[in-house]
Amino acid sequence: MSGKKHLIYNPEKECMSRDEMHAWQSAKLAETVRREYENVPMYRARMDAKGVKPEDIRTVEDLKYLPFMEKTDLRDYYPFDLLASPRSEIVRIHGSSGTTGKPIVSGYTRNDVDVWSEMMARTLTAAGCTKDDVVQVAYGFGLFTGGFGAYQGADKIGAMVVPMSSGNTQRQIMMMQDLGATMLCCTPSYATYLGETIREMGLAPGKDIKLKAGCFGAEPWSEAMRVRIEELLGIDACDIYGLTELGGPGVAFNCLEKDGMHINEDHVIAEIIDPATGEQLPYGEKGELVFTSITKTGMPMLRYRTHDICSLTDKPCACGRSTIRMSRITGRTDDMLIIRGVNVFPSQIETVLVKTQGVAPHYMLVVDRVNNSDTLEVQVEMTEEMFSDTVGQIENVRRYITEQIKSVVGISAKVTLNAPKSMPRSEGKAKRIIDNRKL
């Protein structure tokens, strides 16, 4: 026991008995499966192919009969073919990068926005937020769910929201001081950067800076980074988990025990599967995290494979919540990278190179973290098609690739042109990524 004072936003839901939760999840699951079957032709076809009817899904245990959904489905049925509600009921669109050129988008009904706000209100409350707090949101506002998610949760609590969006560090710190911000929401790497800048400016946390806690997510981080952020800013640093496909941040969150993330189980059902066989694994075992939305109506995802690797536990938590918890994400089952909070797939870079060069040159992605900011270098092997006797023309090719990556992936990369055959060749899957980040 940490002796921490635990606040719970919705004790009725967050502390319900396991039996009650099972009954609630079973009912909501059956409802959602029926909605999906009746409204989404793609999923109906997939269920029919497996010989599963909506009436076969009565309890949480029946989940295993349902077919999976994948990120590629959001690309293949982009943008609206997975909607389970009429288009006129959709009040919001959010999105993130897909596996190739196109982003993936998710449609939210009013209900879905409310569900998401509720999940984020619980998340912030678990980190100690009340209506007396000043919540500085330094996540980006846009298609990305971070900014809006944090805003909605804090707004629901009735806290004072400062929607700063990301970047402009000097201004962030000035507002933090002037308004007396007590909670911070941003990526963990930006929290570190803010902390270091605050220290360099000679400001004292606890005196000049009033922060008490922060909710940090959208990119992988470690316990070591948590300790560093907590020291720099003098706060409790809480981890949050979420993804656009499931609504956004707030799917799971740390309470102040910071021992795993509580899953908002009355809204999503979590499973861990063996990524190779698709079989469910028991609590405690590491595998791929799979989520099923059971309260969303716009674009509910059923058995959505996150490709994130972690484990689940149903051991009781000192905070009093009865919900199961997920461990930190320890890896991916695919080659997705998260760079500055943006999902990056090597296949996106390959798409750009094929499009600009007509051929797929050998390339390597080198990721690093410099001054708490992720950097991406794309090393491309020179080809005869790209080569010219003038520096200007080669620089134009390089600039064009850089611009295309920025437009397709959404982040700035440094593109370098390398000698032919300078990249390692392998018989099997080519090694495309060098990740030098020390988290």
Partner 1 sequence: MFIKQLSVFLENNPGTLRAMTELLGRGGVDMLALSIADTQSFGIVRTIINSSQIDDAMTLLRENGYIAKVNRVICAAVPDRPMGLSELLAVIEESKLSVEYMYSFLRAAKPGTAHMILRLDDGKKAEEVFEEHRIKMLSQEDVDKM
Q: Which residues bind partner 1 (CB under 8 A)?
A: 382-384, 387-392, 394-395, 416-422
As measured in angstroms, the least distance from the Cβ of 360 to partner 1 is 16
- Spatial contact of 256 and 345, defined as CB atoms under 8 Å apart: no
As measured in angstroms, the least distance from the Cβ of 389 to partner 1 is 4
Strand partners, 376: 367
As measured in angstroms, the least distance from the Cβ of 217 to partner 1 is 35
As measured in angstroms, the least distance from the Cβ of 352 to partner 1 is 19
Smaller CB separation from partner 1, 2 or 416: 416
Q: How far apart are CA 156 and CA 120, in angstroms?
A: 9
Smaller CB separation from partner 1, 62 or 403: 403
Q: Measured between alpha carbons, how far is residue 350 from residues 337, 365, 367 in Å?
A: 14, 11, 16
Q: Which pair of structure tokens corresponds to residue 286?
A: 């590491």
Strand partners, 418: 381
Smaller CB separation from partner 1, 114 or 377: 377
**What 3-state DSSP class applies to 129?**
coil
Sheet with 304-310: strands ordered across:
268-273, 287-293, 304-310, 331-332
Smaller CB separation from partner 1, 2 or 422: 422
Cα radius of gyration (the chain)? 23
As measured in angstroms, the least distance from the Cβ of 420 to partner 1 is 5
Q: How far apart are CA 162 and CA 332, in angstroms?
A: 34
Smaller CB separation from partner 1, 313 or 418: 418
Task: Map tokens 């910071």 to a residue.
Answer: 258
Q: Which pair of structure tokens corresponds to residue 421?
A: 């055959």
- Spatial contact of 73 and 82, defined as CB atoms under 8 Å apart: yes
Smaller CB separation from partner 1, 200 or 389: 389
As measured in angstroms, the least distance from the Cβ of 186 to partner 1 is 33
Q: How far apart are CA 266 and CA 293, in angstroms?
A: 9
Smaller CB separation from partner 1, 283 or 387: 387
Q: How far apart are CA 345 and CA 343, in angstroms?
A: 7
- Spatial contact of 260 and 325, defined as CB atoms under 8 Å apart: yes
| Alpha carbons within 13 A on the beta-carbon side of 439 | 17
Task: Map tokens 């499973």 to a residue.
Answer: 271
Smaller CB separation from partner 1, 80 or 387: 387
Who contacts 368 (Cβ-Cβ below 8 Å, separation ≥6)?
Answer: 374, 375, 377, 436, 437
CA 6 to chain centre: 25
Smaller CB separation from partner 1, 5 or 421: 421
CA 37 to chain centre: 27
As measured in angstroms, the least distance from the Cβ of 422 to partner 1 is 7
As measured in angstroms, the least distance from the Cβ of 316 to partner 1 is 57
CA 397 to chain centre: 33
Q: How far apart are CA 108 and CA 116, in angstroms?
A: 9
As measured in angstroms, the least distance from the Cβ of 423 to partner 1 is 12
As measured in angstroms, the least distance from the Cβ of 390 to partner 1 is 5
CA 234 to chain centre: 25
Smaller CB separation from partner 1, 330 or 416: 416
Task: Map tokens 């678990």 to a residue.
Answer: 126
As measured in angstroms, the least distance from the Cβ of 373 to partner 1 is 21
Smaller CB separation from partner 1, 407 or 422: 422
